[in-house]
Amino acid sequence: MGISCLDIFPGRGVMRDSDFKARGKVRKRILSVIFLLPAWFSPHSKLRVIFHRLRGVKIGKNVEFRYFCIIGNVHPYLITIEDEAVVTAGSVLLEHDNAHYYAHGGEVNFGPVVVKKRSFVGIHSVIMPNVTIGERAIVATNSVVADDVPPDTVVGGIPARVMKSLDQGNEIIKY
């Protein structure tokens, strides 16, 4: 990324890049937290979009967020949600995963998440770092997506797998 932890935290001694990835920039993190509760609980989807934008999430036109979506809590600027996408209640879009960092002192899984145009992320789904959800793709409820999702497909499960390919028609999907 070209950003050194010592540039952001001068005088703090030696910090690994994974420390920065795990914690983020302090000022941006404070702003993100200030707008987090309104982004989770605002009574209307358009207000939730405004608060997530203020946090740094890149959001297109006519995007819908349902209640309590966790969207990039440390590095929200790495999340992109394109036009007319829907992210339903309780979904989580992670731009970082600290599991190896805290458990073994390893590296942070860190990277962008992109939800393409007219995609749908089902209730309580988790999208991991470095994942792109293709245009018009559907992520089924309670799925964990760790790999890219092709356009016009339905994925589901833990881990998410392709369940069905879709044409651009409007058929009702049974899965």
Confidence at residue 42, expressed as pLDDT on a 0 to 100 scale: 72
- Tens digit of pLDDT for each residue in 78-107? 999 999 999 999 999 999 888 888 888 888
Q: Give residue limits of the domains in the chain.
A: 16-165
* CA Rg value for the chain: 17
pLDDT at residue number 117: 98
Counting as low any pLDDT under 50, the low residues of the chain are: 1-15
Which residue pairs from 15-19 have beta carbons closer than 8 angstroms and sit at least 24 positions apart in sequence? 18/101, 18/106, 18/107, 18/108
Q: Looking up tokens 């207000």, which residue turns up?
A: 47
For residue 50, what pLDDT is reported?
Answer: 87
Does domain 16-165 fall under CATH 2.160.10.10? My reply is yes
**Region class of 26: left (phi > 0), else alpha (psi between -120 and 50), else beta:** alpha
| Contact predicate 34/51, CB 8 Å | no
pLDDT of residue 28: 64
Cα–Cα distances (Å) from 15 to 96, 105, 129, 168, in that order, read: 18, 12, 22, 49
Cα gap 69→87, rounded to integer Å: 7
Count of H helices and E strands in the chain?
5, 16
**Predicted local confidence at residue 91, as pLDDT:** 95
- pLDDT score at 16: 53
Q: Please provide residue 44's backbone torsions phi and psi, each rounded to the nearest 5 degrees.
A: -130, 145
C-alpha 86/C-alpha 120 separation (Å) is 5
Measured in residues, the chain has a length of 175
